[in-house]
Amino acid sequence: MKNEKRDWADDGYVSVPYWLYTDPEVYQNELERIWYGDHWLYCGLEVEVPDIGSFRTMTLGERPVIMIRSSATEISVVENRCGHRGTKVVWTRSGKALDLTCPYHQWSFDLKGCLLGVPLRRGVKGEGGMPKDFKASDRNLRQLKVEVVNGVVWASFSVRTPSFRDYLGPKMWRHYERIFSGRKLRVVGYSRQRINGNWKLMLENNKDAYHGALLHAFFATFGLFRPDQKSAMEMDDTGRHACITSVMAQGGANAIAAALPGFNSALKLKDPRLVQAVKELDGEETMGASTVFPSVVLLQQVNSLHTRQIVPRDAGSFDFIWTYFGFDDDDEEMRNRRIRHANLFGPAGFVSADDAEVIRMVQQGFEHASQEGFALNLMGGREIATATNMASETTIRGMYRYYRQLMDL
Ligand code: FES
Ligand SMILES: [Fe+2]
């Protein structure tokens, strides 16, 4: 894929060319090598499919799939593409089924996607029908490789993908286990939005602690995330995954907070419970944002726990799906607190609305100069290593080191 049009400087992943976010050919290659390659993709939470036959449909990369509880002990993820002529077999977002029957010619599949029945298979009055050499097992729904890890369902289109825990690596596992310890989860709610930007921008945004207190006036003003806080940015050995953590600042304004452009000490919340959290997870961190490449962000901030799933649509847009959850044994007060804290996030959140808007504007900037411009990731220097401050873009450099090798660019 190297050609003149696609120059990418060899400067330690400090600069990332705009065409990486706008070129449809690059995007197609990403689907093949990343989304359909040796990577685990987030599907959902195990509790979303509680009974045998419970299912949810979703899109991984651009491919529609069905996540379904296929037995008491097993969850299957199968492509939602009929073995007959490729139509979607299941059209609803969620439900419960005894089998999966395609609306077009009513071919039916069992809960693992194996073809059970073909209407008129033996023809009508001895005429027509399928020839004798037709083998139903050749036309099953394609099964993905699946792992359910502490209540989260992961799938991969590639059989070569290593175990999820190895894929994540030990440094990231610590952050994963902090939220997903195995304690039974309960879904609090969902929100969905379409964002007109390249899908990689959302991973960058969630690896980027630098913008947290600068873009998000709400964070700065109410002390949830500020540069004077103790923080860390860690990656797995490949650099593709990262976790940003911070410990909430105690007290009100100080010199660093007061210097932030969005900080306004005169602002007070009418309902301070919006940012009042109770400690519930291990460790001193009050915030943790893990990007699990390429499909999801796992986030804890105050008492909001949620997953943010990325569904690419084309080079310039993606869908972003939020699943808010808590624990099954939460008391009513905690359940209400999680709902209250969810106001910070999602498409209209006091904080997250800023991210969608800024990503849209970044994409526009890229499109206007796609052949000449490049984004700069120089904060914190050129190296790719754990950082213990927020003034670094090391995690973005880490992702592009991995990406560049994988994409052969
Ligand atoms: S396309 Fe599904 S049964 Fe014909
Ligand atoms: Fe943000």
The CA-CA-CA angle for residues 58, 62, 63, to 5°, reads: 60
Closest Cα to atom 4 of ligand 1: 105
Q: Which of the two residues, 149 and 250, has the higher pLDDT score?
A: 149
User: Smallest Cα–Cα separation from 40: which of 298, 316, 394?
Assistant: 298
Q: Number of C-alpha atoms within 13 angstroms, CB side, residue 44?
A: 27
308-314: long-range pairs with CB below 8 Å, 24+: 308/202, 308/206, 309/42, 309/58, 310/199, 310/202, 310/203, 311/58, 311/59, 311/60, 312/27, 312/30, 312/31, 312/35, 312/61, 312/62, 312/199, 313/62, 313/194, 314/24, 314/27
pLDDT for 149: 98
pLDDT for 5: 64
User: 206 CA distance to ligand 2 centroid (A)?
Assistant: 7
User: 298 CA distance to ligand 1 centroid (A)?
Assistant: 37
User: Smallest Cα–Cα separation from 348: which of 190, 188, 191, 187?
Assistant: 191
Q: By the 8 A CB rule, do 282 and 352 touch? A: no
Inter-axis angle of helices 352-368 and 199-207, nearest 10: 130
User: Smallest Cα–Cα separation from 79: which of 104, 97, 59, 49?
Assistant: 59
CA distance 211 to 187: 29
Sequential DSSP letters for 154-216: EEES-TT---HHHHH-HHHHHHHHHH-SSPPEEEEEEEEEEESS-HHHHHHHHH--TTHHHH-
Q: Which amino acid is at 252?
A: G
Contacts of 56 (CB under 8 A, 6+ apart): 43, 44, 48, 49, 66, 67, 68, 93, 94
Sequential DSSP letters for 373-388: -EEE--TT-S--S-BS
Q: Number of C-alpha atoms within 13 angstroms, CB side, residue 299?
A: 24
Atom of ligand 1 nearest to the CA of 83: 2
Q: What is the pLDDT of residues 67-99, one digit of tens each?
A: 999 999 999 999 999 999 999 999 999 999 999
Environment of ion ligand 2 (residues, CB < 5 A)? 355
4: pLDDT strictly greater than 80: no
170: pLDDT strictly greater than 50: yes
Give the residue, out of 78, 84, 115, with the most ligand 1 atoms within 8 A of its beta carbon, to mutate for a pocket test. 84
User: 6 CA distance to ligand 2 centroid (A)?
Assistant: 29
Q: What is the pLDDT of residues 218-266, one digit of tens each?
A: 888 887 887 888 899 999 999 999 999 998 866 556 667 777 777 788 8
pLDDT for 396: 98
Atom of ligand 1 nearest to the CA of 102: 2
Inter-axis angle of helices 199-207 and 394-407, nearest 10: 140
Check whether the bond before 294 is cis (ω within 30° of 0).
yes
User: 89 CA distance to ligand 1 centroid (A)?
Assistant: 8
Give the residue, out of 66, 78, 81, 87, with the most ligand 1 atoms within 8 A of its beta carbon, to mutate for a pocket test. 87
Contacts of 126 (CB under 8 A, 6+ apart): none
Atom of ligand 1 nearest to the CA of 89: 2
Q: Which two tokens stand for residue 281?
A: 């997870």
pLDDT for 225: 80
pLDDT for 304: 97
Closest Cα to atom 1 of ligand 1: 85
Atom of ligand 1 nearest to the CA of 85: 1
Ligand nearest to the CA of 100: 1
Give the residue, out of 91, 105, 108, 139, with the most ligand 1 atoms within 8 A of its beta carbon, to mutate for a pocket test. 105
Give the residue, out of 78, 82, 101, with the most ligand 1 atoms within 8 A of its beta carbon, to mutate for a pocket test. 82
For the stretch 86-112, what's the b/e string if a residue is b when 16 or more beta carbons lie within 10 angstroms of its beta carbon?
Answer: eeebbeeeeeebeebbbeeeebbbbbe
User: 71 CA distance to ligand 2 centroid (A)?
Assistant: 40
Sequential DSSP letters for 48-91: GS-STTEEEEEEETTEEEEEEEEETTEEEEEES--TTT---S--
DSSP-based three-state secondary structure for 297 = strand
Q: What is the pLDDT of residues 38-51, one digit of tens each?
A: 999 999 999 999 99
User: 268 CA distance to ligand 2 centroid (A)?
Assistant: 21
Ligand nearest to the CA of 205: 2
User: 124 CA distance to ligand 1 centroid (A)?
Assistant: 18
User: Smallest Cα–Cα separation from 106: which of 116, 119, 123?
Assistant: 119
Q: What percent of the chain has pLDDT over 90?
A: 87
CA distance 236 to 122: 56
User: 236 CA distance to ligand 2 centroid (A)?
Assistant: 21
User: Smallest Cα–Cα separation from 68: which of 112, 117, 116, 114?
Assistant: 112
User: 73 CA distance to ligand 2 centroid (A)?
Assistant: 38
Region label for 200, one of left (φ > 0), alpha (ψ between -120 and 50) or beta (otherwise)? alpha
Q: By the 8 A CB rule, do 246 and 348 touch? A: no
Please, which residues bridge with residue 387 across strands? Answer: 233
Closest Cα to atom 3 of ligand 1: 105
Q: What is the pLDDT of residues 8-47, one digit of tens each?
A: 988 889 999 999 999 999 999 999 999 999 999 999 999 9
Q: What is the pLDDT of residues 342-365, one digit of tens each?
A: 999 999 999 999 999 999 999 999
Q: Which amino acid is at 122?
A: R
Residues near ligand 1 (Cβ within 6 A): 82, 84-85, 87, 102, 104-105, 107
Q: Which domains does the chain have, with CATH numbers?
A: 41-147 (2.102.10.10), 169-407 (3.90.380.10)
Give the H or E element holding residue 26.
helix 24-30
